Amino acid sequence: MKYLLLVYIDPELLEKVPAEEYDAEMRHCIRHALSLAERGTLVGFNKLEDPEQARTVRVREGRTTVFDGPFAETKEVLAGYNLVEADSMEEAVELARQFPWARYGSMEVRPVADMDAERVRVGA
């Protein structure tokens, strides 16, 4: 089963990390991700640009509104993701724990829905 490991970062915590330490954490993260990819566990991963570059699109009653940045009011911001293959939620949580970013925010582990089953269900 696929799980999405959403990386949320508290920018205030991350700002306190010296540049050399951040670079070391990023090197560790990238090397770990590549190792997981070689094993077939990691399907995809990416770092997201800062929230200031984001736009939130909302359509209500046929009207489209575009907001600057993420719409949610929260201290932590979505900073990246890892798409993994795991046999259970417990295994996916363990994979999330191995990335350094939970120390600077949190990692949300969410099962990915089977879109082939959904396509069949709705007749698409």
Residue 73 has pLDDT above 80, yes or no: no
Confidence class for position 68, pLDDT limits 50, 70, 90: confident
Domain boundaries, the chain: 2-122
The separation between the first and the last C-alpha atoms of the chain, rounded to the nearest angstrom, is: 22
| Beta bridge mates, 64 | 59
pLDDT tens track for 84-112: 999 999 999 999 999 988 889 999 999 99
pLDDT digits (tens, 9 = 90+) for 42-53: 999 999 888 888
Yes or no: say if 95 and 29 are a contact pair by the CB < 8 Å rule. Answer: no
CATH code for residues 2-122: 3.30.70.1060
Stated pTM of the model: 0.83
The residues that bridge with 2 in the sheet, in sequence order, are 85
Radius of gyration of the chain (CA): 17
Percentage of the chain exceeding pLDDT 90: 62
Residue identified by tokens 């993701």 is 81
